[in-house]
């Protein structure tokens, strides 16, 4: 009986997690329209996971296309690539080995660490302990996720009787972009530990507050740790579809679902059933609306591609503040590069990455938050979403410089 039960649990655990045995990640470089057509046709006939761009429809000539190919289709894909002579390379030889290299499955579970990818349970207890560690920080729950996990915003700043202008920073909109929550944790630690010694951080936290949401899409993040490392969306369900989740960064009310998003619930860029249908999106949007008069900047952290994006992504039209947004982005990218030479590209989302409606940056901007930026952190595809833990520290250190550059600019240019 016991043996049977144990066997059942093991079988369940195995069946419940997605494995990537023998899967590879390819980079394709289409330079002809035929190449684009071929990649799109391939996506229709077999199941490939687009890492960059997010879907087949967004493939164009002269961009790098990173795709994950299941073992079953490798021979076929190799043959097609040879025959069509699309330039290509293998970015990840053995995806399961790369995933295993990051998983916390040793005999003794690790403690919370700023240089590891922490599971949600660890981030959750970290949030609760750091929030009571220092008078510069406090927390507030802004609602629960679909699966009922509390979404906690940390408020950093010297206490003051009058309301201070603020910056809102979120991480982990997309579940598999693990470097993003790692950055929010790093930011909180750095802010607390350099207040009083770093003159810029001291001045920032004296004059402004910073709201930090360490993990936006908690259900998805937890799922990437426990079941499927490559999950992107939320985990909401709706009767009538067996597919789970929507893309939170397509679910904001900004040109919702008009371009670069899918109305197919099974797609990785599903825009949801209506704007803010995802409770996580609604919770954040409500919080920002409630604090609209104080929030002067909205920063959201994604990966990967090394980009600093700003509105718009739902239209090719330039934002009214385009030249100022561009100037600040270039300054921030230069600051970032000064540490380790990491190169970032700056520009409006639609032309710099791809047109995609329903994003949080465009929504915040149209609400009136002028300094609205999306970061796409390291790398440019060597590891993609599987950025090694050894790169957490340098990535966070350089990103701090860019975030502090933007914060300092905002502080000097309050509106
Ligand atoms: O597609 C996205 O949501 C972001 N890229 S990612 O690879 N992290 O998924 C880019 C978002 C840019 N902004 C908008 N599309 N509004
Ligand atoms: Zn992506
Ligand atoms: Zn993302």
Indicate if 21 belongs to the active site: no
CB 359 less than 6 A from any atom of ligand 1:
yes
Q: Is the pLDDT of residue 160 over 70?
A: yes
Name the residues around ion ligand 3, CB cutoff 5 A. Answer: 174, 177, 302
- In the structure, what pLDDT confidence band is assigned to residue 24 with cuts at 50, 70 and 90? very high
Is residue 28 classed as helix, strand or coil in its secondary structure? Answer: strand
- Look at residue 366 in the predicted model and tell me its pLDDT: 98
The one-character DSSP state at 345 is E
- In the structure, what pLDDT confidence band is assigned to residue 103 with cuts at 50, 70 and 90? confident
Q: Which atom of ligand 1 is found nearest the CA of 252?
A: 16
Annotated catalytic residue, options 376, 389, 397, 398: 376
Residues 6+ apart with CB under 8 A from 253: 275, 276, 285, 358, 363
- Tokens describing residue 405: 């550059």
Q: Do residues 377 and 179 make contact, with C-beta atoms less than 8 angstroms apart?
A: yes
CA dist 250 and 359 (Å) reads: 5
Pocket test for ligand 1, best of 270, 307, 349 (most atoms within 8 A of CB): 349
Of the candidates 356, 377, 373, the residue with the CA atom closest to the CA atom of residue 304: 377
Q: Which atom of ligand 1 is found nearest the CA of 303?
A: 8
CB 174 less than 6 A from any atom of ligand 1:
yes
Ligand 1: residue whose CA is nearest its atom 4: 302
Per-residue pLDDT tens over the stretch 350-406? 999 999 999 999 999 999 999 999 999 999 999 999 999 999 999 999 999 999 999
Please give the model's pTM, rounded to 2 decimal places.
0.92
Q: What is the mean predicted confidence (pLDDT) over 189-201?
A: 98
Q: Do residues 316 and 261 make contact, with C-beta atoms less than 8 angstroms apart?
A: no
CB 24 less than 6 A from any atom of ligand 1:
no
**Beta-strand relationship, 295-303 and 371-377:** parallel
- Look at residue 302 in the predicted model and tell me its pLDDT: 98
Provide the mean pLDDT of the chain: 94
- In the structure, what pLDDT confidence band is assigned to residue 282 with cuts at 50, 70 and 90? very high
Per-residue pLDDT tens over the stretch 107-126? 777 899 999 999 999 999 99
| CA of 218 relative to ligand 3 center, distance in Å | 14
Residues 6+ apart with CB under 8 A from 255: 314, 315, 357, 358, 362
Of the candidates 374, 369, 377, the residue with the CA atom closest to the CA atom of residue 350: 374
- Tokens describing residue 97: 């080995």
Q: Is the pLDDT of residue 15 over 60?
A: no
């Amino acid at each position: 009986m016991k043996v049977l039960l144990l066997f059942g649990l093991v079988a369940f655990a195995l069946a419940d997690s997605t494995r990537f045995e023998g899967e590879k990640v390819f980079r394709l470089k289409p330079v002809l329209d035929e190449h684009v057509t071929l990649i799109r046709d391939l996506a229709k006939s077999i199941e490939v996971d687009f890492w960059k761009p997010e879907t087949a429809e967004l493939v164009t000539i002269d961009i790098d296309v990173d795709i994950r190919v299941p073992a079953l289709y490798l021979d076929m894909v190799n043959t097609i690539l040879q025959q069509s002579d699309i330039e290509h390379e293998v970015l990840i030889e053995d995806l399961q080995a790369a995933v295993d290299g990051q998983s916390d499955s040793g005999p003794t579970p690790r403690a919370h660490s700023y240089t590891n990818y922490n599971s949600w349970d660890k981030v959750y207890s970290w949030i609760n302990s750091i929030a009571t560690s220092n008078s510069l920080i406090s927390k507030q729950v802004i609602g629960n996720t679909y699966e009922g996990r509390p979404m906690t915003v940390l408020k950093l700043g010297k206490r003051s009787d009058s309301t201070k202008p603020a910056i809102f920073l979120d991480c982990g909109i997309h579940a598999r972009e693990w470097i993003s929550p790692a950055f929010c944790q790093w930011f909180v630690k750095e802010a607390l530990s350099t207040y009083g010694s770093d003159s810029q951080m001291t001045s920032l936290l004296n004059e402004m507050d910073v709201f930090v949401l360490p993990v936006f899409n908690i259900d998805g993040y937890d799922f990437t740790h426990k079941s499927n490392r490559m999950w992107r969306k939320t985990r909401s369900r709706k009767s009538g579809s067996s597919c789970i989740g929507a893309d939170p960064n397509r679910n904001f009310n900004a040109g919702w679902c008009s371009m670069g998003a899918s109305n197919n619930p099974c797609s990785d860029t599903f825009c949801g059933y209506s704007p803010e249908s995802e409770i996580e999106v609604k919770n954040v949007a409500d919080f920002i609306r409630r604090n609209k008069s104080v929030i002067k900047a909205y920063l959201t952290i994604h990966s990967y591609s090394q980009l600093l994006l700003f509105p718009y992504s739902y239209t090719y039209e330039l934002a009214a503040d385009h030249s100022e947004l561009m100037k600040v982005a270039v300054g921030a990218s230069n600051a970032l590069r000064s540490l380790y030479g990491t190169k970032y590209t700056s520009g409006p989302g639609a032309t710099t990455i791809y047109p995609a409606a329903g994003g949080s940056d465009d929504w915040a901007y149209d609400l009136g938050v002028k300094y609205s930026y999306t970061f796409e952190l390291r790398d440019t595809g060597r590891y993609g979403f599987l950025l090694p833990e050894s790169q957490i520290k340098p990535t966070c250190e350089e990103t701090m410089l860019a975030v502090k550059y933007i914060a300092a600019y905002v502080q000097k240019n309050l509106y």
